[in-house]
Each structure stands twice: as structure tokens, then as C-alpha cells.
Copies of this chain bind each other. A is one copy, B any other.
Amino acid sequence: MSISDYIEARRREVEDALGRILPEPPDCPAVVHDAMRYSLLAGGKRLRPVLCLASADAVGGDRASALPAACAIELIHTYSLIHDDLPAMDNDTMRRGRPTLHVVAGEGQAILAGDGLLTEAFNVVARAPRPRDYERALTQLDVIRMIASAAGAVGMVGGQAIVLLHSGLEEPGLLRPSTLLGAALSEVEGREARPTPSLDADGLRRMHAKKTGALIRVAATAGAMMGGGTAAQVEAIDEAAGEFGLAFQIVDDVLDVEGASADLGKTAGKDAAAGKVTYPSIYGLEQSKRMATACLERADTALRRAALENSQLLAIGRWIVERKN
């Protein structure tokens, strides 16, 4: 099976499951159900759930036991796009070639649909598969905890908060959060708000490790853990996925410079127009591309160490680096 056939087969498994996973009316109010589905089923690469299923495969596990975690992570990814697109954040009106949710449903319903998807993710991963023994139950609790860490304040949410602080897009004025929140906090807790570090090359890497890296990594590790991988296998896959996450972000930044808006389904050149700090803005285009390739090499080394059978993981890494959108 070619890698593109493999990815397409996994993607179809994910699409099928996602189409069945959300609560239905009348238990779920129609407006929330419709809003969640509009964003969840709008296409997308399904990189994270595909990586999750491929990691279960790579450790010789049962893909079905990783499918709930794979879907949960895609629900979380979708909610993060909805909230990131809001006027108070990146203020994007197009996503995957369609109007963003707040444009068609209003801001309030978009915020709620995001909240609903995030919450439903934990329902999905706590509900299935039913663990058949004590060890499996502990693994499932660990996976829930790890997904929450990756998605939360030390992970994706924290990364987006750093982006927002540095974007200058939040009207009126970048300094409002620190000064006003600082004054408010010192009343409540008798201390000033802490400073937030500036965004140099190292800060950029750490920010992306939170904003996109953490969820990509946990997709892979959750798949390996639910698939019953050994500690050494899980560790190697975690390391490789960390490299994939970094490569993903570098390529994202490169595509914003080089890509066509039609391929991307969103406006190219937006980063530069917004004055964002990106890999090309710090390292230049050619060096950025070399850095993405170096990620793959390090991922290869990590994966070889764990001696995985028929792993498609490195090929998925190559797909990440060679993609056009």
C-alpha cells in the first residue's frame, strides 16, 4: 500500500467516526449541533488523528482502541481553530475555503460550539474503549491527562496566549492585558502580574512547541499508548512526533510565503502583512526548508531506535514536509 493510500484509508476511518461522534438533537440543541458539525466536517488534513492511528499501527496495536483518542484530538484541534479565528483573536473570516463559524453563526454561538467540541473530546476519550483490565484503565486515565496537558494552559492554550500578546492584533492596544490585569491582580492577590518573555528565535520555538507541537505530539503518543506500545516505543514515537510538530510549523510559515491562496484555502502572505515573527522572517526561506528536513532526519533516528515494524510514521513526516497546504 502506498503512503498516500495508507493516509487516505486512515482519513476515511476518522471521517466516518467523526460523522457519528457528536450528540444529536433533541438532547443536544440543534443550533449547537449544527455549529459543531459545520466546523468539524469541513474537511481538513486530519493530520493529528491519522498520526494517532499510524502510531497504534506502528506498535502493532489495534487501531480501533486508538480511534476515540484520535477523534478527541481532532475535536480539540477544530475547537482551537474556531476560537483562534474569532474577531478578538486572529479575526479570520475564511477557513478551509469557507466562511469561518462566527461569520455564519455569530460570535457567541461560535464560542459555545468551540467550548462544546473541547468538552465533548473528553467525553469521547473517557467513554471508549472500555478498558478490559486495570493496566488499560490506568493507561486511559494517563492519556486523558496527557491530552488535557497538551491542549491546555501549559500547551496549546498557552501558546495561543503568547501569540495573542505579541500579535498586536488585539484592539485596542497590546499592553492592555498586562497593565490592567496587573492592577486588578495586585488588588486580589497583593502581587503584580508577571512579565511575559519576548519572542526571539528561542521564544518562537517554545511558543510553537506549545501552540501546535504539543497536540501533534500527544496524538502520536496517545496512539502508541492506546495501541499497547512499550515504554521505549512510546518514548521514541513521542520524540519523532516532536520533530514532526516543529517541521509542520516551519512548513506552515514557508507556505504562507510561497504557497498559493487557492491551495491553502486561506489568504497567503498574511504573516508578513501582520508583521508576525516566523521561521522565514528569522532564518530566511532556504535555511527554514533545511531545518524542516533536519527534523525528519532526527525523527528517523529516534524511530529506528525503537525497531518498529512496518511503521508508516516517517512517511507521514515526509507528507507533512512536502505538503502544499
A residues neighboring B (CB under 8 Å): 22-23, 25, 27-38, 41-42, 79, 83, 86, 88-89, 98-99, 103-109, 111-112, 114-116, 118-120, 122-123, 126-127, 131, 133-134, 137-138, 140-142, 144-145, 147-149, 151-154, 157-158, 160-162, 164-165, 170, 176-178, 180-185, 188-189, 193-196, 210
Q: When A and B form their complex, which 6 residue pairs have the shortest distance between CB atoms, in order from nearest?
A: A137-B137, A30-B194, A88-B107, A119-B152, A123-B148, A116-B153
A178 contacts across to B, CB distance below 8 A: 31
A182 contacts across to B, CB distance below 8 A: 34
Choose among A89, A164, A210 the residue with the greatest number of B CB atoms under 10 Å from its CB: A164
A164 contacts across to B, CB distance below 8 A: 108-109, 112
Q: Is the CB of A118 within 8 A of B115?
A: yes
A33 contacts across to B, CB distance below 8 A: 153, 194
Q: Give A285 Cβ to nearest chain B Cβ, in Å.
A: 29
Q: Is the CB of A152 within 8 A of B123?
A: yes
Choose among A28, A32, A127 the residue with the greatest number of B CB atoms under 10 Å from its CB: A32
Q: Is the CB of B32 within 8 A of A153?
A: yes
A34 contacts across to B, CB distance below 8 A: 181-182, 185, 193-194
Q: Give A34 Cβ to nearest chain B Cβ, in Å.
A: 5
Choose among A29, A140, A144 the residue with the greatest number of B CB atoms under 10 Å from its CB: A29
Given contacts A34-B193, A133-B134, contact A161 B119 (CB under 8 A): no
Q: Give A302 Cβ to nearest chain B Cβ, in Å.
A: 23
Q: Is the CB of B37 within 8 A of A165?
A: no
A27 contacts across to B, CB distance below 8 A: 154
A120 contacts across to B, CB distance below 8 A: 148, 152-153
Q: Is the CB of B170 within 8 A of A106?
A: yes
26 pairs from A and B in contact (CB 8 Å cutoff): A27-B154, A28-B158, A31-B161, A31-B165, A34-B193, A34-B194, A35-B177, A37-B189, A89-B108, A89-B111, A108-B164, A109-B177, A111-B111, A112-B157, A112-B160, A115-B157, A116-B157, A116-B158, A119-B152, A122-B122, A122-B145, A123-B145, A126-B142, A126-B144, A131-B137, A134-B137
Q: Is the CB of A180 within 8 A of B105?
A: yes
A195 contacts across to B, CB distance below 8 A: 30
17 further A-B contacts with Cβ under 8 Å, apart from A36-B153, A133-B134, are A28-B153, A29-B165, A32-B157, A38-B181, A88-B107, A89-B108, A98-B184, A104-B181, A104-B183, A109-B170, A116-B158, A116-B161, A118-B118, A120-B153, A123-B145, A126-B145, A127-B141
Given contacts A112-B164, A151-B119, A157-B32, contact A189 B41 (CB under 8 A): yes
